Amino acid sequence: MGSSTASLFLLLGCFIPVFCITREYFIGIREIQWDYAPTGKNVILNKLLKEDEHAATFLERGPQRIGSVYKKAVYLQYTDATYTKEITKPKWLGFLGPVMSAEEGDVIKVHLKNMATRAYSIHSHGIMYNKTSEGALYPDETTDAEKHDDRVDPGKSYTYVWVLSDTHAPTKDDTNCLARAYHSHLHAPQDIASGLVGPLIICKKGTLDVYGDKAADYSYVLMFTVSDENMSWYLDDNIKTYCTQQSTAANIDKDDEAFQESNLMHSINGFVYGNLPDLSMCVGNKIHWHLIGMGNEVDIHSVFFHGQILTNLGHHTDAVSLFPATFTNVEMTADNPGHWLLSCQVNDHLMAGMQALFEVKKCFPAVHKPRPNGEVREYFIAAEEVLWDYAPSQVNHGTGKPLNTDGDSETFFQRGNDRIGGKYKKVQYKEYTDNTFTVQKERTPEELHLGILGPVIRAEEEDTIKVVFKNKASRPFSMQPHGVQYNVEQSGTLYYNELEALVKPGTTHTYEWVVPKGGGPVADDADCITYFYYSAVDPVKDTSSGLVGPLLVCKKKTLKKGKQKNVNKEFHMLATVFDENLSWFLDDNINQFTKAPKTVNKEDEDFQESNKMHSINGYMYGNLPGLTMCKGDKVSWHLSGLGSEADIHGLYFEGNRLIYRETRRDVMNVFPHISHTVMMEPDSMGQFEVVCQTTDHYQGGMRANYTVQKCSMFNRQSEIMLHSKTYYIAAMEIDWDYSPNRTWEQEMYHGLTQSPGNDFIDKQGKFIGSIYKKVVYREFTNNKFTKQKERSADMQHLGILGPMIHADIGDKVNIVFKNMATRTYSIHAHGVKTDVPQVKETKPGKINSTHNALHLTSSCFIEIGFVIDLYSGLIGPLVICRRSYARSFGLKKEVEEFALLFMVFDENESWYLDDNIKTNIKTPTRNIKEDEDFIESNKMHGINGQLYGNLLGLNMEVGDKVYWYLMGMGNEIDIHTAHFHGHSFDYKLSGGSHRADVFGLFPGTFQTVKMKPKYPGSWLLHCHVADHIKAGMVTVYKVTEKGKECVGLVHCPMSNVNALKYILNKENIKSFLVSFLVSFLVSFLVSFLVSFLVSFLVSFLVSFLVSFLVSFLVSFLVSFLVSFLVSFLVSFLVSFLVSFLVSFLVSFLVSFLVSSTMA
């Protein structure tokens, strides 16, 4: 693809000059010295850096510490091609490049000059480019002439041409303008860590002016990232320049964990601890915040705007999630004057300084703001110290065994010389009847499930919440709410000298919070949206100690006597790893519960692990009480997350489905300080589990049981299934190669010597290599399991996944499962109703059958079908669609579908680890399974189990309708942000269609996205998490011109022949004949009845006319009878023959098309 194609793209993007603009940017790359804390202070707490223990860890210089200043490379904007006069950017942008912007149809020309000391490039998200302007170096089958954009050497220049096409611009359901990013992509992880990243704002036609979105008074761009200076190209320079003793600098161990930690800068636009300047606005201003995430596995961010109500994708909130290369756009009206905190609420990031302040100023004469006219709802709440038991029954309800002797649970519940066990001193919010705090409110049976949580606070829109808080604990605490507004003096967070946040022991403070008009649930929300309140004197230690409780903001007239009136049951669930090492009471717990307190080493990793309690509402291993409901009840589940980088939760509800913003699902992801309301109307009875699908959390006890009972004899009848499909699936043991070909990898890294893939797929010494024994699901032709079904070309991409099971809503899917492996396995589906809720185990050599009823979720969606024994390989996609007769009859053409699982297959957790060691390592050491390098080498960062471009078969043609079924599973490191080069895609949420080119995936995430490829080429598809890129979670998808390549059956000229072969196969002839006979009988009856009626009427009319004409000669009655009989017999015979022939042809054609589609 050369310059002629580039010109064509330009013409397509801007074919009538009056309707589009060419926007030119002169961008230079320069190396600078960047200070993450230029004030020398922790501005949030008004302390010098050296006075703050946490800040000093990252920002104090020393003999083996760099400090706050680092050499970086940045994008700067200039006035023209001389690159002599820099255009000053706003101070709040920090080290980010200049804001580039475009409306739909605009052309952006970027004239890039590299004034740094090493080669870089510029690559953009969310915009159209061809292969000469992609700016990303990877094996993409382009010529050398088309690779000049991929590498701009020092002193060189290059001009990139981008077009904001209609397939990249915001959809009608998006906000006016969307944030995207541009960055260097020569070696993306290192280039970004070195500083080369900036914002791109893409807008709808007619919405942009010189200041940004016309609808906003101010627009700000904020990038949240843990800038990893260990990954920067300039690490050696920074050590040499800033470590205070040059003699020791040369000997610094760059692999030392403490040194590496000191170089992780938890920054917003390159500033830490409140040093981000100039975020200011006036009361009444409309503010648009464009939020960007970037970075690595630790970059899970929960951005909290204190005291504000935001609008995100049409819904109200005050906290939003960000992940590497994800972009969020929120709108806000600045209502409350004062200095407000803006922070990432992930525990580790909060302590490390990912905080800023923004000021809302009174710029104009005060405008009277009427008080809300709702109710005043009063609560009396105290903080009290309690002895908390994470498992009162002392039993693992998953296994029935005692917790202190049962495998996984023993780690957390075994008391010993240096182990605390399952009971801890904590602090809890408790409710009282009045402000005397003498009579505590007893919890009702419906409230037993709340566990460690405080009382539920509920309010409707325009209500005022008045909380009288008494601190009956032994240290200062507070109450900080989400989801409401309050004066800055009423904040429960200690910052910027606001000492009112601190409520001392024995004292009382009254908080007043307001639910503003227009700040509650919207039309497609549930009646009440979920938030929570917590203590924030020290947000990390206070919440780790137990101070957190639910808060519901509800639509008007949905509460009765303080409770929801449109639901039968209301349940709250807080998923968190309570880290007791961070509790205020750790020393008390050591002294009270360990058998030899003086021997305890609080820095010991095993001791710390034993204190990380993977809980739901403070209960573990099925000990959470009170989750009982009736079949057919309307149940609201209020789900929240809390904690640190490890708190990535995919809550899976076994047995019944949830409704979230007009979509059905059975898994909900929650993150720290992020909450969701989901509705359930259970239709399956029995006892079911709610579990976190993050594997460490599941094993660590984040599991609860809920019970659905039959409470009425008038419960709904079961669904009637009109269609049935049968699949024959076996579990088979195979040798799986994660990287069968290293050619792509070799080209990517210019040889294998420096390839990061060596750490994972080299088979030498103590490493296994790329081939592992695994167990996989594979499809067979019938229940004899003698002939495995060959995968067609369009299913080649499935890789390690099991067969793609297709079904329409209302179908009954029968799965005949044979275990051909050497261990007991099973098969189980998400998102469907089964005959028996419990999963059946199948022993080696045995066969089991399961029957799944499929229910509507969205247009077409994906479910991970089979999560048991995940790491050993047993997983596959189940695709459920609305019933489409056009699709059933084969009339929907040129549709491609691809199922992609982004997951780190941890072979250390596989059943076959010992087999793989024995087979591949000649002389393994005794403790090889504890060797850190060995453990890391067995973590295979794959897309469908393939690394470094080895996933094949992602082929499509220009104009195809492409469905991507994206899936995430795994562990705490399984944060995946799937990025498609070259094209954007659409996804649905709340009934609206939204556009992106990156989608975040987490354990239990399944999402369908739709793409219509327009631009030919071999395009990169990868996880944007920095470590995952290096570890091989990359491949390419290929777009060809229409007709140039046969891709999949529907495009092939021999597809009818293939279909005929499929029909004549003895396994399929029966279904063809049944289809033919049903079609024939229906069409014959319909056509014959129609013909008969027509014949009767025609005969009657003809006979009447003939009889009338001859009635002068013969009697009218005789003439009529004779002519009627003759004409009717003739018409009847013709009708019968025509009906038979037409029915035969139609039936054969329909049956053939159905079989063709199946083929």
Instruction: Label each residue of 393-444 as H, E or C.
Output: CCEECCCCEECCCCHHHHHHHCCECCECCCEEEEEEEEEECCCCCCCECCCC
Q: Are 81 and 28 in contact (CB under 8 A)?
A: no
Rounded-to-integer distance, Cα 673 and Cα 638, Å:
13
Type of residue found at 549: G
Expressed in angstroms, the distance from the first to the final Cα of the chain is: 35
The yes-or-no answer on residue 692 being catalytic is yes
Tracing tokens 């992940």 back to the chain, one arrives at: 323
Indicate the pairing of strand 635-641 with strand 723-737. Answer: unpaired
12: part of which helix (H) or strand (E)? helix 3-13
Which two tokens mark 116? Answer: 């740094």
Cβ partners under 8 Å of residue 254, min gap 6: 230, 235, 239, 260
Among the options 14, 243, 344, 692, which is catalytic?
A: 692
Tracing tokens 């993007």 back to the chain, one arrives at: 13
Q: Are 181 and 327 in contact (CB under 8 A)?
A: yes
Indicate the pairing of strand 286-293 with strand 218-228. Answer: parallel
Q: In what order do the strands lie in the sheet with 376-389?
A: 423-432, 376-389, 464-471, 508-514
Q: Are 285 and 333 in contact (CB under 8 A)?
A: yes
CA neighbor of 831 nearest in space, from 689, 657, 972, 713: 657
Which two tokens mark 62? Answer: 């020393």
CA neighbor of 621 nearest in space, from 888, 803, 329, 400: 400
Rounded-to-integer distance, Cα 874 and Cα 876, Å:
7
Strands (E), 907-1049: 939-943, 955-957, 961-968, 976-980, 985-989, 992-996, 998-1001, 1005-1011, 1017-1023, 1034-1040
Q: Are 293 and 275 in contact (CB under 8 A)?
A: no
589: part of which helix (H) or strand (E)? helix 586-593
Cα 489 to chain centroid, rounded: 36
Rounded-to-integer distance, Cα 67 and Cα 259, Å:
11
> Can you tell me whether residue 27 is helix, strand or coil?
strand
Torsion of CA 1026, 1029, 1030, 1033, to 10 degrees: 140
1078: part of which helix (H) or strand (E)? helix 1069-1110
Rounded-to-integer distance, Cα 121 and Cα 387, Å:
58
Cβ partners under 8 Å of residue 344, min gap 6: 224, 266, 268, 301, 302, 303, 304, 350, 354, 355
Distance (Å) of CA 720 to CA 836, 855, 858:
17, 12, 20
Angle at the Cα of 984 from the Cα atoms of 982 and 987, rounded to 5 degrees: 155
Strands (E), 809-867: 811-819, 825-826, 832-834, 841-842, 847-854, 860-864
Is the alpha carbon torsion for 1138, 1144, 1146, 1147 positive or negative? positive
CA neighbor of 221 nearest in space, from 353, 89, 109: 89
Q: Are 112 and 152 in contact (CB under 8 A)?
A: yes
Q: Residues with catalytic annotation?
A: 692
